[in-house]
Amino acid sequence: MAKSVNNRAMSQPQNRWALLGGTFDPIHIGHLRIAAQLRDLGFSKVLLIPNRIPPHRPQPQASGKQRLQMVSLGCESLTGVEPCAIELQRDDLSYSAVTVGALKQQHPEVQFTWVIGDDAWQGFEFWHQPLELLQLANLLVVSRPEVDSAQQSNASDWQQQQLSQRQSDITQLLAAENGRICLKALPELDISASYLRQAIKQGDNIRFLVPDAVLEYLNQHQLYR
């Protein structure tokens, strides 16, 4: 049965979607570079999902509507990269397992992969229903090349157990419906939204760190000043 499921996934490359959540407060070139790299890895679509109420970090400064608009502007020049407002439409905490469950109901034919950074992976076992998330989707942990080799050696007992059962390379992950974990080193740009907010507050020039359309929106609405 597993073989037939995997074959079906491989025969329908248009149905492999990567999900990248975050506050996007604001979205920047680093986010979009990761989205473009995910497309290059073989995902047919990448959804950028702004949180409404992030469980593990402070509430965003910009409103959900403003952040969704910036994400939309940032995606305009990228094929196959789209904003998704599903978490902004819920009043409760933005739990990934709940989000993937809702998306699975809307798109039962799609194979989903939730994408996180190595920092989020370190606390993944304490997320809301992490095993339920893995029953619905795969997990791709993106790290900088110098961090990749340290991830497994520093893994907790829970992480080691999950990796022993689920770890795959990117090809195997793309062929699986759910339950696979891939640790993938990708070059990253050293940009953070917190740095950008501070830079804007100080009056620094952030051109080329965010898309031009997003920069225009930030200036028009005087965000983070």
Residue 8: the pLDDT is 39
Residue 9: the pLDDT is 39
The domain 2-190 having CATH identifier 3.40.50.620: the answer here is yes
Q: Spell 91-115 as b/e; 16+ CB within 10 A means b.
A: eeebbbbbbbbebbeeeeebbbbbb
Nearest one of 36, 34, 45 to 12, comparing CA atoms: 45
Nearest one of 80, 92, 98, 8 to 40, comparing CA atoms: 80
The residue written with tokens 């491989």 in the block is 10
Query: Hey, where are the domains in the chain?
Result: 2-190
Output the six-digit token pair for 19. 């999900």
CA separation, residue 53 to residues 57, 67, 129, 180 (Å): 9, 13, 17, 27
Residue 49: the pLDDT is 98
Give me the tens of pLDDT residue by residue for the chain, a chain 225 residues long.
Answer: 333 334 433 444 569 999 999 999 999 999 999 999 999 999 999 999 999 988 877 889 999 999 999 999 999 999 999 999 999 999 888 999 999 999 999 999 999 999 999 989 999 999 999 999 999 999 999 987 655 555 555 789 999 999 999 999 999 999 999 999 999 999 888 899 999 999 999 999 999 999 999 999 999 999 999
Residue 148: the pLDDT is 52
Residue 125: the pLDDT is 96
| Helices 64-75/212-221 angle, 10° precision | 150
Residue 146: the pLDDT is 56
Residue 92: the pLDDT is 84
Residue 58: the pLDDT is 83
Counting Cα atoms < 13 Å in the Cβ hemisphere of 113 gives 34
Nearest one of 113, 105, 100 to 42, comparing CA atoms: 113
pTM over 0.85: yes
